[in-house]
Amino acid sequence: MIRVDDLSHAYDDELVLTDVTLRLPRGQVTALVGPNGAGKSTLLSAMARLLSPDSGRVLVDELAVADAPADVVARRLAVLRQDNRVAARLTVLDLVRFGRFPYCQGRLRQEDHRVVAECLDYVQLGELRDRYLDQLSGGQRQRAFIAMVLAQETDYLLLDEPLNNLDMAHATAAMQLVRRAAEELGRTVVVVLHDINMASCYADRIVGMREGRVTVQGTPAEVMREEVLSDLFGLTIPVHRVGGHLVGMHWAPGPVPAAAG
């Protein structure tokens, strides 16, 4: 379980997280949703100790991520940020091998090579393993980075807007990959998403944030309701049941309710 206790953080005196307390159970896919500037990415960064919050703490299975040894945390949780601009010319294989760094410090053993090969196959990049990252399409590159964090073999996987810049087909493929990682590999996934319908279809649990606070959380059935969504996004979003899924038609909103401003 990921425990977030009283987390607050400010950038230049502007509060981006205010007393966030959260419990995320193991073995589930949790989606973080909310409007821009709600603090989703900041919360994810704090969970992954990429940012040290002004106050509060994050425990992952009783391990305090901010204070624990860096390599211990790296074997417990892996994080993928949204901006994976490639500053270096590395091959897909180089990148995925780095996922084993917390285990072997760069000297891969047989076990590490096996995991790397499995992860490459898992994201279907086995054939492109010797390509340079800058020769891949956006979708392929995103899969290569996902393979790297999978190769870290962590119980927890934190993904910050992994669907950014992906077209519909690639975005769907990436979410299916995330779903399978949870079901087949038993990973606990926390994923920041912009599209509430992706959250509704692929997450077990949705956490809604607005202005630095968690305003709502629950199963997709509990969160995908017109009054909840209009509170969260300040937009009337008609919700319909389509093929067993709750779908919010955010592209065809109703009038903005006065209460949400």
Partner 1 sequence: MLLAVVSVLSLSIGVVPIPPADLLSPTPQQWQLLTVSRIPRLLAVLLAGAAMSVAGLIMQRITQNSFVSPSTSGTVEAAVLGVLMATLLLPGASLTAKMAVAIVTAVLGTLVFLQLLQHIRYQDPVVVALVGLMYGGVISAVTVFLAYQRDLLQLLEIWQTGSFSAVLAGQYEPLYLVLVVGALGYLFADRFTVVGMGREFATNLGVRYTAVLYTGLVVVSVMGAVVVVVVGAIPFLGLIVPNVVSLFLGDHIRRTLPATALAGAGFVLGCDVVGRTIRFPYEIPVATVAGVIGAGVFVWLILRAAQRTAP
Give the three-state DSSP class for 183: helix
Binding mask 124-163 for partner 1 (x = CB under 8 A): --------x----------------x--x-----------
In terms of CB distance, is 159 or 199 closer to partner 1?
Answer: 159
- Kindly indicate which of the ranges 26-34, 91-99, 191-199, 248-256 contains the residues binding partner 1, using the contact rule CB under 8 A: 91-99
In terms of CB distance, is 1 or 72 closer to partner 1?
Answer: 72
Least distance (Å) from partner 1 to the CB of residue 187? 15
Q: Which of 1, 64, 72, 221 forms a contact with partner 1 (CB under 8 A)?
A: 72
Burial 190-221 (b: 16+ CB within 10 A, else e): bbbbebbbbbbbbbebbbbbbebbbebbeebe
Contact indicator for 200, 221 with CB cutoff of 8 Å: no
Contact indicator for 41, 161 with CB cutoff of 8 Å: yes
Q: Which of 9, 40, 49, 187 forms a contact with partner 1 (CB under 8 A)?
A: 49
Separation of alpha carbons 151 and 35, rounded Å: 32
Alpha helix segments (H runs only) across the chain: 40-47, 70-76, 92-98, 101-104, 110-122, 138-151, 168-185, 196-202, 220-223, 226-233
Q: Which of 74, 92, 216, 224 forms a contact with partner 1 (CB under 8 A)?
A: 74
Q: Which of 10, 63, 98, 179 forms a contact with partner 1 (CB under 8 A)?
A: 98
Query: What residue has token string 């996922």?
Result: 99
87 binds partner 1 (CB under 8 A): yes
Q: Which of 105, 243, 251, 258 forms a contact with partner 1 (CB under 8 A)?
A: 105
Least distance (Å) from partner 1 to the CB of residue 236? 37
Residue whose C-alpha is closest to residue 233's, from 212, 204, 256: 256
Kindly list the residues in this chain that would bind partner 1 in the complex (CB under 8 A).
Answer: 45, 48-50, 69-75, 78-81, 86-91, 94, 98-99, 101-102, 105-106, 132, 149, 152
